[in-house]
Amino acid sequence: YDYALSWWDQIVTSRQRSGEYPIETWAALKLLMRRRFVPSHYHRELHSKLRKLTQGARSVEDYYQEMETLMLRANIMEDKEATMARFLGGLNREVQDRVEMQQYEQLEEMLHKAILVEQQVKRRGPSRTNYDSNRSGYPRDSKPALAPKVESKPATVIQDKYKSEGSTSTRSRDVK
């Protein structure tokens, strides 16, 4: 507060000394203040934040308010369908999937439906979200599964007709 007042006093004094007209309109004052206090990269950062904005750990209402604030500050005027797509795209996946199945015509309708879905998800609790599809709800038996029966056949004696009559070879026919 003190700095802004000192800055304003300096502007008034320097304009008087240089023979310039005093600032008389709000638009002229806003322009002068923006040049001094708003960095040149401010709008670029706002657009970047808005593009990357997602619901994350915040509530649907907080996410919507943040999106709306960024859009107002960045002076973004877009089609209502584009804003609705932006809002829907930043919602958490579970909320987004369920809201997509609903019908809505206005952003406010979409917001209210997203809030209802979020409340339903919270009521349902974390038990379903941590569900492991590889495990059933039934307790497992402590007995091991039956091992397949392996039949072993006795060694077979084969006589090779090219070898002498007295020589034989033994082969094992075990299948595992």
Each residue's pLDDT, cut to its tens digit, for the chain (176 residues) gives: 688 889 889 999 999 999 999 899 999 999 999 888 888 899 899 999 999 999 999 999 999 999 999 999 998 899 999 999 999 999 999 999 999 998 989 999 999 999 999 999 988 876 554 444 444 444 445 555 555 565 555 555 555 555 555 555 555 555 55
At 169 the three-state DSSP class reads strand
Amino acid at 3: Y
Q: CB neighbours of 140 closer than 8 A, spacing ≥ 6?
A: none
What letter would DSSP give residue 166? T
| Phi and psi at residue 130, to the nearest 5° | -100, 15
* pTM of the entire predicted model: 0.59
Q: What residue spans define the domains of the chain? A: 1-38, 40-128
Which residue in this structure is represented by tokens 């309708």?
109
Write down the pLDDT at residue 146.
57
Give bridge partners of residue 170 from the DSSP assignment.
Answer: 157
- H-helix or E-strand containing 158? strand 156-158
Write down the pLDDT at residue 138.
45
- The alpha carbon dihedral of 131, 136, 137, 141 has a sign of negative
